[in-house]
Amino acid sequence: MSASAIPLPAIDRLFPYEKWNSRVAELSTEFRSAQPFPYVHLTEFLDPELSLRLSREFPNSNDIRWNHYRHYNENKLGLTQSELFPPSLSFVISEFQSPRFVSWLERVTGIKGLLPDPTMEGGGLHQIVRGGYLNVHADFTRHHHQPHWRRRLNLLLYLNEEWHDDWNGQIELWDREMRGCVKKFAPLINHAVLFETAPDSFHGHPEPLNCPPEVTRKSVALYYFTLDTSNVPAKSTNYRARPTDSTSQRILMWADKRAVSAYSKVKRHIGLSDEAVSRLLRFGRRG
């Protein structure tokens, strides 16, 4: 069945509230007690036909509109401009930013006053091709363009119809001391991971993808914030070495992390966007 032949559910079915509202108490307990940090792993997150449509309408990795994040600590594609999303993805992401859905997140996590990010800074659609990766890290702690927004939650929805363990790409959740991976989940279609964003919420998929060339790792990433007017300094993405990483890898990881921190400061102070940088780099490559 083609993607266009799969019916888009009515607005009130973009997220199965009746199903997930009935599990709020259970999920809240699971979230609070999870290790190595608060999280829940959710299967059959959306209507199965809807998740299939999202997967099959996902933009091709060769599309020029993707932003390229290629440096030592990551190699991935990102797209945050909702006007470029296929309609089904745009509708679902809008629902994930709605007051009704945000209220559900607050009930599950116990975090009140959550704010969705309409600009999807650092999030949106993510896609990783063969050889791509994302080193283990804790995320940036404040929105780059909203200095009083403290980052609190990550919601990751995976859209891969097939995934084999030897392809790598499983999301790994590491302990706070970076001694080892505690949990890992394959990026299977209609699976979601919701976790608390904190300075020691270390996660990633550091092994380069070993999938066939025609396969990519597709996901939707949405971040939620709370208002925080304290003077606690913002921290950029904190990449961390694994125990098995060599000395040279650790040095390169540290140097790249410093470069990312400098770039984050520029973004905050002059309003620079990843889209603008990506366009500039594409222009330079054409030359």
Ordered domains of the chain (ranges, CATH): 3-286 (2.60.120.620)
From the list 170, 200, 182, 205, the residue with the least C-alpha distance to 76 is 205
| pTM for this model (two decimals) | 0.90
Q: What's the longest Cα–Cα distance across the chain?
A: 57
pLDDT digits (tens, 9 = 90+) for 206-255: 999 999 999 999 999 999 999 998 888 888 999 999 999 999 999 999 99
Cα 223 to Cα 143: distance, rounded to the nearest angstrom: 10
**3-state SS assignment for residue 203:** strand
Cα 126 to Cα 204: distance, rounded to the nearest angstrom: 13
- Tell me which of 1-10, 140-149, 225-234, 251-260 is least confident: 1-10
Residue type, 226: T
pLDDT digits (tens, 9 = 90+) for 56-68: 999 999 987 899 9
Residues in the chain, how many? 287
Crossing angle of helices 99-109 and 24-33, in 10° steps, is 50
Cα 38 to Cα 79: distance, rounded to the nearest angstrom: 27
The values of phi and psi at residue 89, to 5°, are: -65, -40
